[in-house]
């Protein structure tokens, strides 16, 4: 029972079915003694239950909506509470451009600026909103959607962001909105170079994703440039690229974190010096954490985690998980945990995430806050001595789990 509540989300590539929902009476009894881990608060089934994050923060267009039209409007509201903060960004071409807007005087709605709030075609948008309900409880929602791309065109959405500073494990990753048939032509039109210069090679994961990395981690201080010359390149019969631009990023200090799942510790090392050894709680015996190297791809000061989104049914739903650092696409996070007691440094109790001690609302003085404040997108977190398999190279930015020969074999130009 305890392991079903003290846990975090992680979808599995191998068969591992969520447990059956326990009876309401048993669940209520368990909730009287225990709290759960994930991305929103545990749901209760009685009259007057608090709103879900979707009810507390309403966002349109819907999460993961595609083919949104340019004349559609972004709408954000807190029907029974007040919006605390809202950030809307266009993240096309890895460069965030904030969509300006304002929260109404009563805090119930957010409206985009009339002059700059119109949607543009062939773009990806991300919305992050936090609201307080009538009881003063905080609810966070993060959604994304993409706007219409003309049928005869394709576009690549990629990371990292332009002009960002990243960790030494950063991988340049393109996701295309349509399958690429002529992968050699598309790969040839994208050139990733660095100063100091090192060989950088692309690797295809299927027809819709192309990643680039060097043989080993980037040197601190390296400046990386990605030249994209996809305009009028034929990616598939009758389908042509529309992008022509150059973006770049700078590599910061070298920081890696080694999670020993068996020892329940995480050793944080920067530029060869151990900064700290932190007590952690990893995945339980039934839901262990992936082994292998994972790259930080997102960071959220607060986010929701819901077991239904990653194959665990209604086992957990926590709306205000603090200091959340995404490690895989499938749902592995390293995050703050304020609901578990006595597990850090001694017990692996999650659904696959890595938990650090935290307080509700987050604090920079806790282990989770300390780590979050010292982390960059592109930092590497490596897990060892877990009972699970090694993370797949395409799950998040997992390409460092491939040797150089295997990596280069995935290029369409070799």
Q: Is 99 exposed, middle or buried (0-12, 13-18, 19+ CB in 10 A)?
A: buried
Contacts of 151 (CB under 8 A, 6+ apart): 239
Contacts of 206 (CB under 8 A, 6+ apart): 394
Contacts of 99 (CB under 8 A, 6+ apart): 74, 88, 89, 90, 112, 113, 116, 117, 125
Cα separation, 355 vs 37, in Å, equals 9
Q: Is 402 exposed, middle or buried (0-12, 13-18, 19+ CB in 10 A)?
A: middle
- Ramachandran bin of 345, using left for φ above 0, alpha for ψ from -120 to 50, beta for the remaining angles: left
How long is the chain? 414
CA 342 to the chain's CA centroid: 27
- Phi, psi (5° rounding) for residue 35? -120, 165
Residue 116: CB atoms within 10 Å: 11
Strands (E), 134-243: 138-147, 153-154, 156-159, 164-166, 172-176, 190-195, 200-204, 209-214, 223-229, 234-236, 239-241
**Which residue's entry shows tokens 């791809």?**
297
**Which residue's entry shows tokens 């959604």?**
143
Q: Which residues pair with 180 in a beta bridge?
A: none
Catalytic positions, written as ranges? 335, 353
CA 281 to the chain's CA centroid: 20
Q: Of the candidates 41, 63, 80, 173, which has an alpha carbon nearest to the alpha carbon of residue 128?
A: 63
- Are residues 225 and 194 in contact, defined by beta-carbon separation less than 8 angstroms? yes
Through-space distance between the first and last CA atoms of the chain, rounded to whole angstroms = 52
CA 190 to the chain's CA centroid: 24
Helix (H, G, I), strand (E, B) or coil at 351: coil
């Amino acid at each position: 029972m305890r392991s079903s509540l003290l846990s975090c989300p992680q979808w599995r590539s191998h068969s591992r079915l969520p447990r059956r929902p326990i009876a309401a009476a048993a669940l209520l009894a368990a909730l009287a003694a225990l709290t759960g881990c994930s991305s929103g608060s545990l749901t209760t089934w009685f009259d007057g239950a608090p709103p879900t994050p979707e009810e507390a923060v309403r966002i349109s267009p819907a999460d993961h909506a595609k083919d949104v039209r340019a004349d559609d409007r972004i709408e954000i509201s807190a029907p029974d509470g007040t919006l605390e903060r809202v950030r809307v960004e266009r993240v096309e071409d890895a460069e965030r451009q904030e969509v300006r807007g304002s929260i109404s005087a009563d805090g119930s709605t957010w409206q985009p600026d009339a002059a700059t709030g119109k949607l543009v075609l062939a773009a990806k948008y991300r919305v992050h909103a936090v609201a307080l309900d009538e009881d003063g409880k905080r609810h966070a929602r993060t959604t994304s959607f993409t706007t219409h791309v003309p049928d005869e065109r394709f576009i690549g959405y990629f990371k990292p962001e332009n002009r960002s500073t990243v960790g030494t494990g950063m991988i340049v990753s393109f996701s295309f909105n349509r399958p690429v048939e002529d992968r050699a032509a598309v790969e040839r039109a994208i050139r990733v170079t660095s100063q100091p210069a090192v060989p950088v090679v692309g690797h295809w994961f299927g027809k819709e994703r192309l990643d680039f990395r060097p043989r080993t981690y980037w040197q601190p201080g390296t400046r990386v440039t990605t030249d994209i010359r996809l305009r009028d390149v034929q990616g598939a019969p009758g389908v042509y690229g529309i992008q022509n631009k150059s973006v770049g990023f700078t590599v910061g200090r070298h920081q890696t974190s080694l999670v020993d799942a068996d020892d329940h510790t995480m050793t944080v090392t920067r530029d060869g010096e151990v900064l700290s050894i932190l007590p952690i709680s990893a995945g339980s015996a039934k839901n262990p954490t992936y082994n292998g190297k994972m790259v930080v791809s997102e960071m959220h000061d607060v986010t929701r985690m819901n077991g239904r989104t990653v194959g665990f049914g209604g086992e957990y739903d926590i709306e205000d998980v603090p200091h959340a650092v995404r490690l895989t696409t499938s749902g592995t996070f390293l995050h703050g945990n304020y609901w578990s007691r006595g597990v850090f440094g001694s017990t692996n109790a999650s659904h696959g995430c890595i938990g650090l001690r935290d307080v509700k609302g987050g604090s920079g003085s806790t282990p989770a806050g300390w780590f979050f404040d010292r982390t960059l997108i592109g930092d590497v977190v490596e897990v060892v001595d877990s009972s699970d398999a090694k993370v797949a190279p395409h799950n998040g930015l997992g390409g460092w789990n491939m040797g150089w020969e295997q990596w280069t074999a995935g290029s369409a130009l070799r």
